[in-house]
Amino acid sequence: MEIHEVLKSVKAGTVSVNDAKKMLSLYSIEEIEGIAKIDINRRKRRGIPEIIFAETKELEEIKKIIKRVLEKSNSVIVSRIKKTDYPKIQAFAKRLKVKIKTGKKSSSLLLFKKPIKFHGGKVGILTAGTSDIGVAEESRLVCEAMNCKCITSYDVGVAGIQRIFPILKKMIEEDVDCIIVAAGMEGALATLVSTMTDIPVIGIPTSVGYGYGEKGIAALASMLQSCSLGLSVVNIDNGIAAGGIAANIANRTIRKKE
């Protein structure tokens, strides 16, 4: 039975609530030719869209998953796309007649059918340097897919500490619900932002850096050891996770205000 038929049957009294629950659970997981199991109801359950990790998948597998997900929902994010596959996935999306949002210096794409409305909360996104932008843009794509408005400012790290004050003032004036900070090297920007505002801050240590604490290790350790309360930390280069957390915080905040 289709979902609307199940609901009609419950209304008519021909199907019990327990039986309907069992039937509807069949719509929770969609299997694609033995290569993937799609969590179709994730968006309704958690507010987070389907995200395809493309780095280790073959192009044809990615295409099949994109097609099936977009049959069931309005949007899908394809993350960490291989350089050779990036233009091919864009071309495939155009053939499907879906819209595309790209990220600066990012290997991720947001594909969607109907225009995404920004009726959720507000998220601020900062980077310490230009090398951190790709990771921050992954966060932006996730937040926008979750209907959040994003205010971004890049290359405002502690090497030129005066750069952070005007944009942080703007974010406070705009009443953002959460701030994401992507920083490599020693990762100090996340602590600085956290100590200057009462807004929840999510730090993303990036793999920018070299020497003793290379590949994001020093930035991760610094953020985890931060003395500033109110700072949470995701894994190295995990812009996707930071975006999901920030948008959930922002969207819950906006619902409380309503």
User: How confident is the prediction for the chain on average, in pLDDT?
Assistant: 88
pLDDT tens digits along 91-142: 999 999 999 999 899 999 999 998 888 888 999 999 999 999 999 999 999 9
Sorting pLDDT into bands at 50, 70 and 90, what band is 90? Answer: very high
Range 216-224, long-range pairs (CB < 8 A, 24+ positions):
216/184, 218/185, 218/186, 218/187, 219/183, 219/184, 219/185, 219/186, 219/187, 220/187, 222/186, 222/187, 222/188, 222/191, 223/183, 223/187, 223/190, 223/191
What is the domain partition of the chain in residue ranges? 1-33, 46-116, 120-256
% of the chain at pLDDT higher than 70: 88
H or E element that contains 245 = helix 239-257
CATH code assigned to 120-256? 3.40.50.1970
pLDDT classification of 245: cutoffs 50, 70, 90: very high
**Which whole number is the average pLDDT over 238-254?**
93
Looking at residue 78, the DSSP 8-state letter turns out to be E
The CATH number that domain 46-116 falls under is 3.30.110
Strands (E), the chain: 29-32, 36-39, 50-53, 75-79, 99-102, 109-112, 122-127, 149-153, 178-183, 201-205, 231-233
- The pLDDT of residue 72 is 80
pTM for this prediction = 0.83
pLDDT higher than threshold 70 for residue 211: yes
Q: What is the pLDDT of residue 74?
A: 86
